[in-house]
Amino acid sequence: MTRRIVLSILAAVLIVIGGLTALSGAAIMLLFRSDGRVESGMERITTPTQALVSRTGDVTGVSAAPTWLGRPTMSVTLTDPPGAAATFVGVGPAAAVNAYLANVPHDVVTDVEVTPFVLQTARQPGTRTPAPPGEQTFWVAKGTQNGTTTNLSWQAQDGEYRVVIMNGSAAAGVDTNARFGVAVPGLGNVGLLVLIIGLVILAVGVVLLVIALAMRSRPTAPPGAGSAAAPSSAPAAGPGRDPARVDQAGQ
């Protein structure tokens, strides 16, 4: 295998790897933006029950994550119609939330479709009306109200948690507009670094490909070209000279 073929194969491999790496970095930057945040649009969420509750989320590995990456932060923004009662949003340990909503009718989110936005829920029956959620002490984070807007920001920590949205009075019938977001501060820098690495690998592959295309194979000598006939050592007879007379002259 010639050097030209080896360089061509190596260049092709580097171009593919570099291109895929650069695309991955660009995708991270587009998805999480420069500050590492990704958000949904503002969507209307409703339930005729007392609460809309997420499934149990098992958060692990946050404490072991590198500090430069930053702690993941979850955010929820609720916007209520003018004149409507304030809507509560909180994050609580799964066991405490389960105990609080025991025998309380509520909907559990089982799946989310983005386009179009659809929440798929499972109805949990019950007959009890719980105490107002703002009076509970088990929340690790809960929203703060500013006019018709309620904002929640929670830095994730290891454990099992559930997100609860319900009326501040715990009355049945929740109707509000919500935006959900997740931010990992270091992801923007990670995306940029991956993009740069991919572009460097891609550039090296292109350079090697140009070198391989510029190389010329060494020409091969035709068969027999290297074995020329040896010159004769005998003196050539001159024109018009008789060999027999030459011999007699030498005697």
Over residues 190-210, the pLDDT tens digits come to 777 888 888 888 888 888 888
Distance CA 201, CA 194 (A): 11
Tokens in use for 140? 């690790």
Whether pLDDT at 117 is above 50: yes
**Cβ neighbour number for residue 157 with a 10 Å cutoff:** 13
Whether pLDDT at 133 is above 90: yes
Number of H helices, E strands in the chain: 4, 13
Instruction: Map residue 23 onto helix, strand or coil.
Output: helix
Tokens in use for 1? 């295998």
44 vs 119, more confident: 44
Distance CA 15, CA 200 (A): 10
Tell me which amino acid residue 206 is: V
The pLDDT of residue 118 is 77
Whether pLDDT at 34 is above 60: yes
Model pTM? 0.65
The pLDDT of residue 202 is 85
DSSP state of 234: S
165 vs 242, more confident: 165
Distance CA 233, CA 239 (A): 18
Residues 21-50, mean pLDDT to the nearest whole number: 80
